[in-house]
Amino acid sequence: MRVPLTLVLAACLAGAQDTATFRAGVSLVHVDAEVTAADGRIVGGLHQDDFRVLDEGKQQSILQFATEDEPLDLILLFDISGSMRAVVQEVAAAAHEGFKELQQGDRVCIMVFNRRSRVVAPFTEDLNAVDRTIQRDVLGIPFGGSTFIQEAVDDAALLFLHEKRTQRRRAVLIITDNIGVRSRREETVVRDFWEADALLSGLIVRNPKYEALRGVSVVLAPQSLAMRAGMKGIAEKTGGDFIPSADAGTAFQEAMRRIRSRYALYYALPEAKPGTRRAIRVELAQTAAKQYPKARVRARTGYLVPAKAEGVPGN
């Protein structure tokens, strides 16, 4: 049975805007948001009043607001197709520094994929053990095979759906060249991420071997369209980010920092028929928008109304 994406808390805001003080009995919709300035830098230091959330076009009252204090569950999803070994080696070398962006209580799970995906190590707070898993177990796997990106990221979302729902943020970071065989409908994958209350971000590494095929006609290379089946559209709809880079180590640390520094917004679940798909838009409020002209807000674009309210999740 799938757990609905809506976060059902035993509480609602009753104190200062940045303090999680609640009263009982309110079902909340959770939205993670990232704000980048015109030059691409992350905008920090924003507050509850700096955001507007619209559900089906109607502005909602933000009842809870948090920044980096909420614990995080993160799935690292490594592409182990034939072209990716050198990239994963770079990430492995930078993993220790990248994990410094995380906080005490954060948990990391390791998955790998090519034609199929599998869990290498379950969620743990022991980041030194995660580092060793990447160095020893991930790099010890034979690299090769096809690249089924949509199926792999969907499997990561389904893993979250089978985890007990808690008041923890959820994210998947895929390390890939973003070139693979179309293996699942994007709409299906996005729906699973929405239900799992998770976002997908990507570290996309340049792969010169296949770049030439992007300009080749379908007549000469029929496989070229299939090879464009990547994760960017899914990331955009789940509110995630994607960082293209030729320097995988540096990009990994930046991707970790971006995932960890997001804002968490909560508002009351509107009355709607269970299973209904509802659209969300998050934007900067007027004052913040003037302060950061041309800023971009990344947040998921929708959610599914749950079939029923559930009990209070714990940490």
The gap from C-alpha 171 to its chain's centroid, in whole angstroms, comes to 4
CATH top-level class of 72-260:
alpha beta
Return d(Cα 227, Cα 147) in angstroms, integer. 9
pLDDT of residue 226: 39
Express each pLDDT in 8-65 by its tens digit: 333 333 333 333 333 345 689 999 999 999 998 999 999 999 999 999 999 999 999 9
Domain ranges of the chain: 7-67+263-304, 72-260
- Six token digits for residue 187: 């709409």
The gap from C-alpha 218 to its chain's centroid, in whole angstroms, comes to 32
pTM as predicted = 0.85
Express each pLDDT in 78-133 by its tens digit: 999 988 999 999 999 999 999 999 999 999 999 999 999 999 999 999 999 999 99
Of 72-86, 125-139, 222-236, 270-284, minimum mean pLDDT range:
222-236
The average pLDDT across 160-181 equals 89
